[in-house]
Amino acid sequence: MEELITVLGEIKALFNRSLGELSIDCVVFGFHDDQLKVLLLRAKGTDAWSLPGGWIFKTEHLEDAAYRILKERTGLDSIFLQQFHTFGANNRYNGKEIMARLGLPTEHNFFPERAVSIGYYALVEYSLVEPKMDYMTEECRWWDVNEIPELLFDHNEIAARALKALRKQFDNEALGFNLLPEKFTLIELQRLYETILGLEKNKLDRRNFQKKILSYGFLERLEERKTGGAHKAPYLYRFDPEKYATYQHENEV
Amino acid sequence: MEELITVLGEIKALFNRSLGELSIDCVVFGFHDDQLKVLLLRAKGTDAWSLPGGWIFKTEHLEDAAYRILKERTGLDSIFLQQFHTFGANNRYNGKEIMARLGLPTEHNFFPERAVSIGYYALVEYSLVEPKMDYMTEECRWWDVNEIPELLFDHNEIAARALKALRKQFDNEALGFNLLPEKFTLIELQRLYETILGLEKNKLDRRNFQKKILSYGFLERLEERKTGGAHKAPYLYRFDPEKYATYQHENEV
């Protein structure tokens, strides 16, 4: 009971500092073992999963809030955080239902009658993540994108739309280098693309893929080759962050 | 003075019905005479131009609000309205400065301390627009995208980003058929693309362009040909809205 009062007090204090009608939800993607994963949180003492998210302080820039929330909830200084859509259905959630689902007293419903949520997605290197708990969270772990459970609020819709946006951006642009080790082969890069795009192995034409990816101009071929494979050792590449930044700047929307 | 009291009263009533921290701004693009135009409003008795925009009613779905605002301000039932970015800098405007610029008494500043604005862009057929005035607006007219004046708030940034998003979407997807007459030649379609993308005439390779655009599968070649030109009469095409809807659904983000 004392714990509950502390939780409600912290939430109230947070609300008083924040814009009341707006929230941020983050869809954090990680790549591991040829699988695309998404980071989900489970609320204390419940089986209710949701996306990491939070509120925007009254004087805080929207982008700053997104980075802060991602860091608070996941310990990550994200390399890549992309706003993709704002969710504003007038029936996104029922505050009292969510309170009940969280095992909290419904008469203390702290959710505003309505909140519009701004969706961001992040791409992170799986191994760097140190999920952080807070006073509401008991578990924070990776789920395969194909096995996302039923989430609170409209978070299943937000996650689905983030995946679509990510795939579209991968298809049209250069992305994803922060999901790979520092040095990688073009085959490894192709495998990443195929996984993100939900394609079978070797579905992308190798020659076209390599031509396209090299045409962006920010991949640097190293003198080193990758050893240990059955075939002729392929060259290793790394990406040039400066040229990448220039490219991103020229192509950002 | 009486008029001013009426205006302030109407604004106050509107605010009471609306979410206080959120607004919508619309960048309305029209195509005419190989020029890309954008619709701007001038506030009564001033030389202050801005994008058409408005507030979201407390119980209104975000998308519904965007369509309503576009209709109220421009008389348009938009065929294509696309959310492209949410603008949340904490210094987007200074309410008192805007009041002064609008010739309104700064002690009655009705702007919230801060509002986050959700940006939509629309594509419309130039000839169908019947700009509508409201109690704040004296003039509503088309400006060439290359000649946009200094706008109120952060509307220059919003307009610039909408143009980037539009160009990107044109480059990656099929769009723009609602900017053309019902029947058109592929050359006319190419000219539209070149204008939107800010390219010189015939900069796109004709053969590649036609191959790409036909591959989407929703253009129907008619038996008719366009007559009157110096060259062999080209075929007329029209687009199939059903197949277009299917395509959009499969490719939407």
State whether residue A22 sits within 8 Å of chain B by CB: yes
Q: Does B145 have pLDDT greater than 90?
A: yes
ipTM: 0.81
Give the other-Cβ count within 10 Å of A147's Cβ: 8
Q: Which residue of A has its CA nearest to B163?
A: A253
Q: How far apart are CA B245 and CA B249, in angstroms?
A: 6
Q: How far apart are CA A8 and CA A14, in angstroms?
A: 10
pLDDT score, position A54: 92
Q: Does B12 have pLDDT greater than 90?
A: no
Do residue B114 and residue A59 have CB atoms under 8 angstroms apart? yes
**Residue B248 DSSP SS3:** helix
Kindly list the distances between the CA atom of residue B131 and the CA atoms of A139, B39, B43, in Å, as whole numbers in the listed order: 54, 9, 14
pLDDT score, position A18: 92
> Which residues contact residue A7 at a Cβ distance below 8 angstroms, ignoring those fewer than 6 apart?
A104, A135, A136
Return the residue matching tokens 């001038």: B42
State whether residue A144 sits within 8 Å of chain B by CB: no
**Which member of A61, A90, A118 has the closest CB to residue B89?**
A61
For a pLDDT cut of 70, what percent of chain B falls above it? 93
pLDDT score, position B253: 40
Kindly list the distances between the CA atom of residue A222 and the CA atoms of A189, A211, A226, in Å, as whole numbers in the listed order: 15, 17, 10
pTM of the model: 0.84
Kindly list the distances between the CA atom of residue B104 and the CA atoms of A9, B4, B42, B136, in Å, as whole numbers in the listed order: 42, 8, 14, 11
State whether residue A89 sits within 8 Å of chain B by CB: yes
**Cα angle A11-A12-A15, degrees, rounded to a multiple of 5:** 85
Kindly list the distances between the CA atom of residue B172 and the CA atoms of A99, A132, A173, B72, B177, in Å, as whole numbers in the listed order: 43, 38, 10, 31, 15
> Sorting pLDDT into bands at 50, 70 and 90, what band is B252?
low
Q: Does A252 have pLDDT greater than 60?
A: no
pLDDT score, position A193: 87
Residues in chain A with CB shorter than 8 Å from the CB of B87 are 62
At B26, list the tokens: 């619309």
Mutate to test the interface with A, among B15, B25, B92, B116 (most CBs of A within 10 A): B116
Do residue B168 and residue A63 have CB atoms under 8 angstroms apart? no
Instruction: DSSP letter for B145, please.
Output: G
pLDDT score, position A118: 98
Q: Does A253 have pLDDT greater than 50?
A: no
Q: Does B135 have pLDDT greater than 80?
A: no
Distance from CA of A88 to the nearest CA of B (A): 5
A122-167: pLDDT as tens digits: 988 777 777 777 778 889 889 999 999 999 999 999 999 999 999 8
Q: How far apart are CA B178 and CA B125, in angstroms?
A: 6
State whether residue B159 sits within 8 Å of chain A by CB: no
Return the residue matching tokens 């723009």: B176
- A–B: how many Cβ contacts below 8 A? 79
B47-65: pLDDT as tens digits: 999 999 999 999 999 999 9
CB B94 within 8 Å of CB B113: no
* Across A81-90, A124-133, B138-147, least confident range: A124-133
Q: How far apart are CA B47 and CA A1, in angstroms?
A: 61
Give the other-Cβ count within 10 Å of A192's Cβ: 20
State whether residue B68 sits within 8 Å of chain A by CB: no
Instruction: Note which residues in 166-185 of chain A have CB less than 8 A from chain B.
Output: 168, 172
Residues in chain B with CB shorter than 8 Å from the CB of A22 are 21-22, 116
Q: Does A14 have pLDDT greater than 50?
A: yes
Residues in chain B with CB shorter than 8 Å from the CB of A252 are 164
Q: How far apart are CA B54 and CA B247, in angstroms?
A: 31
Q: How far apart are CA B117 and CA B25, in angstroms?
A: 7
